[in-house]
Structure 1
Amino acid sequence: MARPRKDQQEPAAVERIKNAFWELLEQNNLKHITVNMVTQKAHCNRGTFYYHYESLDALLCTVIEEELLNSKGLPLGIFYMLSNDSKALTEMLLPQRTQRFGLVMKRCGQECVALKIRTIIANMWQTILCDEEEELTTNARIIIEYSISGLIGVIDYLYREGKLDGSSFPEEMIYAIKDNAHYLAIRISNAQGISLQEFEQCVRLYSHIAR
């Protein structure tokens, strides 16, 4: 396909298309969104859309990958929530990404996204707490998986209740995260057979590198 006109080229057109998709998803289930709706809201033509994306499904995969599955995106943010790294949380677009995760779960039925996020975060903990040839203990893995699933469930619930606006977290969520993070640190360190101090040192080091 020929390149689109200069005023429709990257990155402006691509960003408009992605933003238009998110805006439409706030009001419509995925099955009701069309390419025409996206291009009208993005102020571009169909040729521009198809130059960058093969289909609406391809656009969906792109925005999910960038916002939700990228290891620097939502998975890292959820890791920070679980480890109570409040400074890191303020440096990310986490409220927006959390809100969009709830949006995808509600409008697209993308349960597989939650599974992928759980896997990415569990692998982060594996990297943090284990040497190259070591594995998380079964108990530690169960605790981590359970905690991730619980937090994802909280995000989904708060979104459906209209309490995630994309700009900040509700106070009850912040309180629950802080309370859970300390308890989680104790349980994981005990299950993995390391001291709480060693656990916290590993988390701080990973957080510093990840930023």
Structure 2
Amino acid sequence: MSQPEKKVDRRVIRSKEALKQALLKLMADKDFDAITITEIVELSNYNRGTFYTHYVNKEALLDDIIDELIRELLKSYRSPYENQDIFRINELTANSVRIFEHVLHYSSVYAILLRSNVISNLREKMFRALKDVSMNELVYSDNGINPELLANYAIHGLLGLIFYWIESGFAYSSSYMQEQLILMIQWRPTEAKTNVVPER
């Protein structure tokens, strides 16, 4: 006999969301290390008892924000191949790429975290999560390339684009970023003209 689904307590969802939003609002103006739990609960209109019911400290609250962000990031990353047995990368289209739409949807959160002193934590968690998914869910034919080196190369490149885009204040549309990513993936340069002046 299957277990009945656990009913989600809407009050818990509301209080946790209020605490998250309060922390993000405070982080928009000051470093995470300088923020106190008292400030968080006062801004969220809850009390310390409610805070400690959900989180052991403010670091746990921040982790909850980042973990939720990464869950959504991974959904967007998987989107082009989640219902396919074979993922044909050469047939990948810009419209099937969802990762930039995800970043734009959470643009205010990413921008706050990027300006804060917790950005290294965010980058590291994003990298580890994307690398794990890439290595465990996408199996390439043997081409002599070390799979772990390939995953490091690809994920660092993708994150570089994402963080450049955030740092630029989202200077380009998400559709443009998707199109550019596809062009980069499919580009196979064989030569490049140099601008180096030869020594005489």
- Superposed CA RMSD: 3.6
Question: Please, which moves more after superposition, 110-119 or 47-56?
Answer: 110-119
| Match status 1:150 vs 2:157 | yes
Between the aligned partners of 1:79 and 1:145, the Cα distance in structure 2 is 17
- Do 2:94 and 2:178's aligned partners in 1 also have CA atoms closer than 8 Å? no
Aligned pairs (5 A) from 1:74-89: 74-78=73-77, 86=95, 89=98
1:179 aligned residue: 180
2:37 aligned residue: 35
| Match status 1:126 vs 2:125 | no
Flag the structure with larger Rg: 2
Equivalent of 1:111, from 96, 104, 120? Answer: 120
Between the aligned partners of 1:29 and 1:140, the Cα distance in structure 2 is 38
What one-letter code is carried by the residue in structure 2 that aligns with 1:43?
N
1:51 aligned residue: 53
Q: Which runs of 5 or more residues in structure 1 are unaligned? A: 1-7, 188-211
Per-residue CA deviation, residues 4-57 of structure 1 (Å, 9 max, x unaligned), is: xxxx94121111111111222222211121112211221111111111111111
What one-letter code is carried by the residue in structure 2 that aligns with 1:179?
Q
What one-letter code is carried by the residue in structure 2 that aligns with 1:108?
N
Provide closer, same or farther for how the CA distance between residues 22 and 45 of structure 1 changes in structure 2, counting only shifts above 3 A.
Answer: same
Q: Secondary structure at the match of 1:27?
A: coil
Q: Which runs of 5 or more residues in structure 2 are unaligned? A: 1-9, 81-88, 189-200
Give TM-score, length-normalised by structure 2: 0.65
Between the aligned partners of 1:115 and 1:136, the Cα distance in structure 2 is 28
Between the aligned partners of 1:177 and 1:114, the Cα distance in structure 2 is 20
1:97 aligned residue: 106
Cα deviation for residue 158 of structure 1 reads: 3.6
Provide closer, same or farther for how the CA distance between residues 170 and 179 of structure 1 changes in structure 2, counting only shifts above 3 A.
Answer: closer
Q: Secondary structure at the match of 1:130?
A: coil
What one-letter code is carried by the residue in structure 2 that aligns with 1:31?
D
Give TM-score, length-normalised by structure 1: 0.62
Q: Secondary structure at the match of 1:138?
A: coil
Between the aligned partners of 1:178 and 1:93, the Cα distance in structure 2 is 15
Higher helix share: 1
Report the identity percentage.
Answer: 19
Provide closer, same or farther for how the CA distance between residues 130 and 136 of structure 1 changes in structure 2, counting only shifts above 3 A.
Answer: farther
Between the aligned partners of 1:13 and 1:141, the Cα distance in structure 2 is 41
